């Protein structure tokens, strides 16, 4: 019956009644990851996505899920970004991964999803490239100065 189907489908968290978002982020909330700092990662991810807990972002770009175990306890806190597990996740790592998801959305022409985040990631990449170029120039100058003496 319809009630039996609803009962089963609503019981299991991996069944959905709405289309999934384009990206899925999972934060492990198992005992080991919790003790190793998952709560700080989760708070930062929720803040960046504008969510108060599990769920989908308003633009349908990301589904955030809590997971009781991602199976890499020795490497906690663990997260998963589009089913790619990341061990020893720091808040900075998680925010960088969100930026990469955003950049991929913009590059694939998916409209305005994450546009501000993608711009921030692009600016960071350009700044790092400029810093590397400056370091290379300084190193070349140092090599040139040393050989003149």
8 A C-beta contact, residue 62 and residue 46: no
**43 versus 134: which is more confidently predicted?**
43
Q: Which two tokens stand for residue 63?
A: 């589904």
pLDDT of residue 91: 97
pLDDT of residue 9: 87
pLDDT of residue 38: 98
CATH domain 17-148 topology: Glutaredoxin (3.40.30)
**pLDDT, mean of residues 38-60:** 95
The full set of domain ranges for the chain reads 17-148
Q: Which two tokens stand for residue 10?
A: 């609503």
User: pTM for the whole thing?
Assistant: 0.69
Residue 18 pLDDT grade (very low, low, confident, very high; cuts 50, 70, 90) = confident
8 A C-beta contact, residue 78 and residue 39: no
- One-character DSSP codes across 64-114: EEEES--S-GGG-S-EEETTEEESS--HHHHHHHHHHHHHHHHHTT-TTTT
**What span, in angstroms and rounded, lies between the C-alpha atoms of 147 and 48?**
50
**pLDDT per residue as tens digits for the range 121-149:** 678 878 888 998 988 888 877 766 544 44
């Amino acid at each position: 019956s319809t009630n039996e189907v609803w009962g089963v489908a609503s019981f299991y968290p991996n069944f959905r009644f709405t289309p999934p978002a384009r990206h899925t982020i999972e934060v492990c909330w198992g005992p080991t990851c919790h003790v190793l700092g998952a709560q700080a990662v989760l708070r930062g991810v929720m803040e960046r996505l504008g969510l108060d807990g599990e769920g989908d972002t308003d633009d349908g770009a990301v589904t955030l899920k809590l997971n009781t175990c991602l199976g890499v306890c020795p490497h906690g806190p663990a997260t998963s970004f589009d089913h790619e597990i990341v061990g020893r996740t720091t808040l900075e790592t998680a925010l960088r991964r969100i930026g990469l998801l955003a950049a991929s959305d913009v590059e694939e022409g998916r409209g305005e999803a994450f546009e501000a985040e993608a711009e921030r990631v692009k600016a960071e990449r350009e700044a790092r490239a400029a810093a590397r170029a400056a370091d290379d120039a300084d190193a070349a100058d140092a090599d040139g100065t040393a050989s003149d003496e």
